[in-house]
Amino acid sequence: MGRIATILFAHKFGTTLEPECKMYRLAADVFNDTAMVLDCLSPALPKMLRVILLSFSSVLRALCGVAAGSSKASLSAHFAKWGNLGELNAKDSSQETVISLLGMLAGTVVVSHISTAVATWSWLIILLSVHLAVNHAAVRSVSLHTLNRQRANLVFSNYLEDKQVLTPNDVSAQERIFEWDGVLRWKGRRATGKSRVGVSLQEFLKPLAGAHSVTGSLRDDHLLLPRLIEVYTDEGYLLWYDPPNRLASVVFKSDISPQGHLRAWAHALLAAHRLDSQGLATSASMEEVLGMLKEVQKQLSGIWPTCMERIKDAGWDINSANIESTFRMRIEPNASDKGEGGSLQV
């Protein structure tokens, strides 16, 4: 069960492990501590339930191994400031050995004073709570310098509204360890919508075009796609906002840069905020959405170079965007049609 869970977990969440390394590092501890509690519960259950419980426990430990290993690699790369990753890993292994030895000594002392079930469970819950609290504090203290989706929400919303650029330390104090996937949240407060980045062209077209009842093929009766191609001729992405679902979908072109990822997210964030503040988040017509997207694009074009420069000066790495968390899908504009509302190839 554990090996199957390892394969499935890596397949489903492999692309999100690096952008959300802080979340998965703490999640690994939650998985491991939950498995420990289940192991302690298993002797009190009938044989069949015990087998099921222990199987689930092995699954959680397998998930812990994948999440902890991958997130540790990302965090180690962050701390290796001078490219000394090997030295850092060696010292980390030595530190883990020392901590394990101290834990064994402390456990020997504690176990000798525990003789009842109540005391056993009390100490177990206390120690696991301390373990999770300390790891939560440790994860929160890490100030990553790359922009994932949540950190981009905080940085861009504060800059666009107040012209204030938050530093990595500022964002670290505000960001949540566990955040909803793809949520567009203005200044860390109200969620104004969701965004999916790096989707396939077929997924992107679903809100724009109706599907044929028999063949399932998509039909763009409003000719929105050619208009969007024209709007985003000079961008590395196409963006559309679907009001009924409050969902912004972004499809990337093959030549998009890391800064293009950041601009696409800022575009979706600001458009969703504008529609929400005007009371049109769920009721805007296609023409109103298109007009809003054009307006936001024009605003971003005027401030983007300055915005990127100030964000870089604040300590952010703008050349390593961690916005995309799905399997990478790209489209290729036909070179002969660029600037003429041309066609696309997947």
- 3-state SS track over 83-133: CCHHHHHHHHHHHHHHHHHHHHHHHHHHHCCCCCHHHHHHHHHHHHHHHHH
Residue 346 confidence (pLDDT): 53
Q: Which residues of 239-260 are buried (b: 16+ CB within 10 A; e: fewer)?
A: bbbbbeebbbbbbbbeebebbb
CB count within 10 Å of CB 175 equals 19
The answer on pLDDT for 208 being more than 80 is: no
Enter the pTM of the model: 0.85
The answer on pLDDT for 328 being more than 90 is: no
Q: What is the mean pLDDT of residues 223-228?
A: 80
340 vs 281, more confident: 281
Q: What is the mean pLDDT of residues 151-175?
A: 93
Work out the mean pLDDT of the chain and round it to a whole number.
Answer: 86
Alpha helices of the chain — where are they, by DSSP H? 2-13, 21-41, 47-79, 85-111, 117-140, 149-162, 168-174, 201-205, 224-231, 258-277, 286-313
Residue whose token pair is 């049609």 = 337
CB count within 10 Å of CB 280 equals 15
- Tokens at residue 110, please? 């504690």
149-159 tens-digit pLDDT: 999 999 999 99
- pLDDT band of 339, cuts 50, 70, 90: very low
Q: What is the mean pLDDT of residues 138-155?
A: 92
